[in-house]
Chains A and B, each alone.
Chain A
């Protein structure tokens, strides 16, 4: 079995003391920051990204992956305890997790999320090891039209998942693409949208944009809310931490279904973890004998979405790594981080840097194992984190943002740019415009343009090139399909209401 050799190679590297340490630091810091209300995985990774720039590439990416898992787990903790979901993915976990916390069963809920995540990770790693290399092989045949259509599907997928109107979602994606145009045009060398500033010549640093839009904007919003912020005042007794035998029995089936669904949906570009949690929750409600328990603290309502979330989070590395097309905003961030380290994601990465690729995959599993080991004793500390007054927390966050942005290139301009995007992000929050799709556009922007230009060059300006090449056509069909899944039920209901 070839894939066992590959995994052995990966584990060999990932288990070396130094790599293991960075994975550990990543997972711990990720949880630590991710627990803070209003700081989602995006802001967490963005906040700590400057630190990883000074590490060798493999260690850096492994630490970032650790941050990602840690931050997602931390986010679930906040969602369960405070009913403050930081991401679309943890919205669903809060549905039954928060009622459980209110019933004094926060301990089992939190422990279940770790157990279930680990179970899903065990399955997902096998799927990645089995499917990423063949997919990369397949992707070697992609030309510019295929890439363009694939990215179009991914961008539409991101726009569709937005909470609110689809028009706004698409507009945010396009705005991201437009921001991606800032800087010197690769083909002609002409600087675009730089407004005479030399600092914008290399484009807008995506870390700066992320920190502004997701980190600083949240701080501004929370400070402005003042007393209206939610606070956690409850306690989680230690002896109540362990899930009961009944909890475990009840969630076994849900975990399996969630893992399967998540692994599958994670492969779709643009769908990723968010869509899979919604789908998994819906499935559990359908198969349950007594659907009325859901929303009132049903353990299946935590197990299935959390398993789906984790499985999808991992399998979404498959398109990110082997196609170079990220599934969601967080993946886009990781992709951007890889590029900053000189690792170009895409079909070649599996063959050209196998040690990096397999070490990263092995570290997913190790990261989840570390989360499991860490969290059983540390749940209490994470909960303590939530009771730190915001008055102390936000100046600390702003300090890290400022130094972090300055440390990127020792440029004062980056601090001002982050402040500006903080203001813009605050405006977006007030206008209910979700910023996550913008990020995907920002990172994919230059690639989308380049592939569009090349496709038009090949076809001499004939748009049918996207429809006549079978792989490209299937991506376009996928794009239509993604929109249909999301818009379909609503339209169908409206159509039925009109017919009646």
Chain B
């Protein structure tokens, strides 16, 4: 619940605040292109402008509220002796996150770019294979089996079950 917010890292709230501020300002700048109107006859720019202003304000509030905590956290980090173990586990974590994003989103991109050309079956097979690289220790045998199974399953559900006009093999 909203009351027990003591446990959250002030750094995270500070970053969130910065992002909200940026989004708010961005929205306000974009909304300037639309007629504002007046309070009794609001134009299409009015509500987005108000919303942008509110988000930007909330973002600034978050920044101000967490600035002190953020400084303390940084000071503590600088004061403590650099711990190579923590650093390397952080690096492993970040690499893993980057890998997860690269291959999962890469697989989806492959699917999106090929579905209308090589057909559902090959597109899904490619998607599953690319996705599987997101985890370390990928095994070709089980991945290929899964890819074939998913291709058959999606054809059964989406092409024959729901009757979507999907090409199985492309044209």
Contacts and interface: CB of A to CB of B under 8 A. Distances in A.
Contacts, number: 203
Nearest to B130: A395
- Pairs of residues from A and B, 3 with the lowest C-beta to C-beta distance, nearest first: A490-B3, A461-B40, A461-B39
Contacts of B55: 171, 174-175, 178
A373 interface: no
A178 B48 CA distance: 6
Contact of A422 (B13, B52, B105, B111): B105
Interface residues of A, number: 72
Contact of B162 (A51, A220, A426): A51
Contacts of A394: 104, 131, 134-135
B2 interface: yes
Contacts of A392: 142, 146
Contact of A486 (B1, B99, B166): B1
B93 A419 contact: no
Contacts of B40: 456-457, 459-461
B20 A426 contact: no
Nearest to B52: A178
Contacts of B52: 178
Tell which of A165, A220, A401 has the most Cβ of chain B within 10 Å: A165
A431 interface: yes
B61 interface: yes
A227 to B, nearest CB: 9
Interface in B63-121: 65, 93, 96-97, 99-101, 104-105, 107-109, 111-113, 115-116, 120
A132 to B, nearest CB: 29
Interface in A407-422: 407, 410, 412, 415-416, 418-419, 422
Contacts of A461: 38-40
A399 B165 contact: no
A220 B104 contact: yes
Contact of B62 (A167, A178, A220, A422): A167
Nearest to B112: A415
Contacts of A487: 2-3
A140 interface: no
Contacts of A51: 157, 162
Most buried by A among B40, B61, B147: B40
B2 A164 contact: yes
Contacts of A406: 111-112, 115
Interface in B1-59: 1-5, 8-9, 12-13, 15-16, 19-20, 23, 27, 30-31, 34-35, 38-44, 46-48, 51-52, 54-55, 58-59
Interface residues on chain B, size class = 35 or more
Contacts of B109: 416, 419
A426 B96 CA distance: 14
Interface of B: 1-5, 8-9, 12-13, 15-16, 19-20, 23, 27, 30-31, 34-35, 38-44, 46-48, 51-52, 54-55, 58-59, 61-62, 65, 93, 96-97, 99-101, 104-105, 107-109, 111-113, 115-116, 120, 124, 127-128, 131-132, 134-136, 138, 142-143, 146-147, 150, 154, 157-158, 162-166
Contacts of B16: 168, 171, 431-433
B58 to A, nearest CB: 4
Interface of A: 51, 54, 160-171, 174-175, 177-178, 181, 185, 187-188, 190, 192-193, 216, 219-220, 223-226, 278, 390-392, 394-396, 398-403, 406-407, 410, 412, 415-416, 418-419, 422-423, 426, 430-433, 449, 452-453, 456-457, 459-461, 486-487, 489-490
B3 A489 contact: yes
Nearest to A494: B3
B107 to A, nearest CB: 6
Given A175-B55, A223-B135, 5 more contacts: A164-B8, A178-B48, A181-B51, A395-B150, A400-B154
Nearest to A401: B108
B39 to A, nearest CB: 4
Contacts of A168: 13, 16, 62
B2 A166 contact: yes
B154 A403 contact: yes
B59 A165 contact: no
A423 B58 contact: no
B19 to A, nearest CB: 7
A192 B48 contact: yes
